[in-house]
């Protein structure tokens, strides 16, 4: 169950970012690339986190909680940059949106979550959320986007605190 919550929190950023864009063509291609890269990057991050957990076995829960908390604080304090709304190619856009999945999933690898469930859920949710956001031209006010991003940040902070306690 924690894996599904972690996957949902990891992919909220996709919904927030893709609602900023006004894409007319190749929406399905952007969604496919986003889904693929949100399997590849979290898988790599998760494996790196598991490797780090073995390497730093005594410190892995502390390291994971610190990383999750810092990522959560970053999401809470992050502001929207109007200059970042410029659209580039679908692959570059998907890479930019998917990169944070690497660092977040590295933290989840450190606390030994179920890798297959987490990576599959992240890939599926990112594919669905990106396609829905792009296809329906969802528009959200900056306030709602900010609230969603902050909510995800607070969830990551909470997961970091829980990793520290357990």
Q: Look at 47 and 103; give whichever has higher pLDDT.
A: 47
Alpha helices in the chain (DSSP H): 2-18, 27-55, 60-77, 90-98, 100-110, 115-135, 142-165
Residue 124 has pLDDT above 90, yes or no: yes
What is the pLDDT, as a whole number, of residue 89? 63
Average pLDDT over residues 70-84: 65
Q: What is the DSSP code string of 117-133?
A: HHHHHHHHHHHHHHHHH
pLDDT for residue 23: 72
Q: What is the mean pLDDT of residues 22-40?
A: 85
Give the Cβ contact number of residue 117 at 10 Å: 15
pLDDT in tens, 81-103: 544 445 456 667 677 777 777 77
Give 138's pLDDT tier (boundaries 50, 70, 90).
Answer: low
Given a cut of 60, is residue 27 above it in pLDDT? Answer: yes
Query: Each residue of 108-119: pLDDT tens digit?
Result: 777 778 889 989
Predicted local confidence at residue 45, as pLDDT = 87
Mean pLDDT of 43-63: 76
Q: What is the pLDDT of residue 88?
A: 56
pLDDT of residue 117: 92
**pLDDT tens-digit profile of 7-18?**
888 887 787 777
- pLDDT of 127: 92
pLDDT at residue 121 above 90?
Answer: yes
Whole-Å CA distances, 22 to 88, 102, 136, 138, 141: 12, 26, 10, 9, 14
| pLDDT mean across residues, the chain | 77
pLDDT for 83 equals 47
């Amino acid at each position: 169950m924690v894996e599904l919550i972690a996957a949902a929190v990891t992919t909220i950023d996709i919904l927030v970012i893709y609602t900023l864009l006004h894409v007319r063509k190749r929406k399905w291609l952007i969604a496919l690339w986003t889904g693929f890269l949100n399997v590849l990057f979290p898988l790599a991050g998760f494996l790196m986190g598991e490797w780090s957990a073995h390497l730093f076995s005594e410190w892995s829960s502390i390291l994971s909680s610190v990383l999750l908390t810092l990522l959560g604080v970053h999401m809470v304090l992050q502001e929207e940059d109007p200059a970042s709304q410029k659209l580039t190619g679908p692959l570059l856009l998907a890479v930019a949106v998917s990169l944070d999945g690497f660092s977040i999933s590295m933290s989840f690898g450190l606390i030994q979550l179920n890798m297959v469930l987490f990576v599959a859920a992240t890939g599926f949710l990112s594919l669905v959320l990106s396609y829905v956001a792009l296809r329906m031209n969802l528009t959200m006010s900056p306030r709602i986007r900010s609230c969603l991003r902050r909510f995800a940040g607070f969830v990551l902070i909470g997961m970091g605190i829980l990793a520290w306690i357990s």
